[in-house]
């Protein structure tokens, strides 16, 4: 799929008060909801509550991703973020059809933690019964919840070659979302990473919007 805009950002869009509310809420429910972040669809065909990751799987996972997440499914958060997703989808010229968002992922990156190169979309649609069945991730959004003075590292980078080994790496750091309350929307098939935190703690919110596969 050829696109002219790989991402669309809104700088300092979410009020600091809302950012703080999300962080406070996430940390308030941390004890009951915090889990080791996974990748590669590990939780798609496996109930991690009854079949938790083995020590070997966790060790292998941390080569790719090391962070902790809290899942949120609260309407007031979607109400705050969804208008930006709609606007970016239109302004960037993607015009992807989507009608559902997965649970929000409140992510905590502490010193040394990171998320290596990956894309958010998978080859096959969700098969589970419910609002996700038959759909794929089409749009991803990341919201910066922490003031950049509170941490170092943790830069969000995009690779516009789409992980094609035959193409020259084309990496761009998304400095536009460094200010607290900034957010970036991008097609879920765009490869990206979060570099290691070298000092402090970085909090972010991630949402994926789903729709039926592209025709």
pTM of the prediction? 0.88
pLDDT value at residue 57: 64
Radius of gyration of the chain (CA): 17
What average pLDDT is seen over the chain? 88
Q: Identify the CATH class of 8-211.
A: mainly beta
Q: What is the pLDDT of residues 61-110, one digit of tens each?
A: 666 888 888 999 999 999 999 999 999 999 999 999 999 999 999 999 99
Distance CA 79, CA 74 (A): 9
- Confidence band for 142, pLDDT divided at 50, 70 and 90: very high
Task: Write down the residue that tokens 């409140």 correspond to.
Answer: 106
The alpha carbon of residue 158 and the mean position of all alpha carbons in its chain are separated, in whole angstroms, by 13
Neighbouring residues of 23: CB distance < 8 A, sequence distance ≥ 6: 106, 145, 146, 203
Range from 1-5, 89-93, 99-103, 135-139 carrying the lowest mean pLDDT: 1-5
Residue 8's CB: how many other CB atoms inside 10 A? 22
């Amino acid at each position: 799929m050829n696109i002219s805009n790989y991402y669309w950002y809104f700088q300092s869009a979410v009020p600091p008060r809302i950012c703080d509310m999300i962080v406070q809420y996430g940390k308030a429910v941390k004890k009951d909801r915090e889990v080791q972040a996974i990748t590669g669809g590990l939780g798609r065909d496996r109930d991690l509550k009854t079949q938790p990751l083995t020590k070997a799987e966790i060790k292998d996972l941390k080569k790719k991703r090391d962070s902790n997440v809290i899942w949120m499914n609260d309407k007031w958060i979607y109400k705050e973020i969804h208008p930006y997703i709609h606007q970016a989808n239109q302004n960037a010229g993607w015009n992807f059809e989507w009608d559902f968002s997965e649970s929000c992922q409140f992510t905590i990156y502490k010193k040394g933690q990171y998320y290596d190169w990956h894309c958010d979309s998978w080859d096959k649609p969700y098969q589970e019964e419910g609002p996700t069945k038959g759909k794929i991730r089409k749009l991803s959004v990341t919201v910066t919840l922490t003031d950049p003075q509170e941490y170092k590292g943790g830069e969000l980078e995009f690779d516009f070659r789409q992980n094609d080994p035959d193409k020259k790496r084309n990496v761009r750091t998304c400095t536009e979302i460094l200010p607290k309350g900034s957010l970036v929307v991008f097609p879920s098939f765009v490869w990206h990473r979060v570099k290691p935190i070298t000092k402090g703690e970085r909090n972010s919110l991630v949402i994926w919007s789903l729709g039926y596969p592209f025709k």
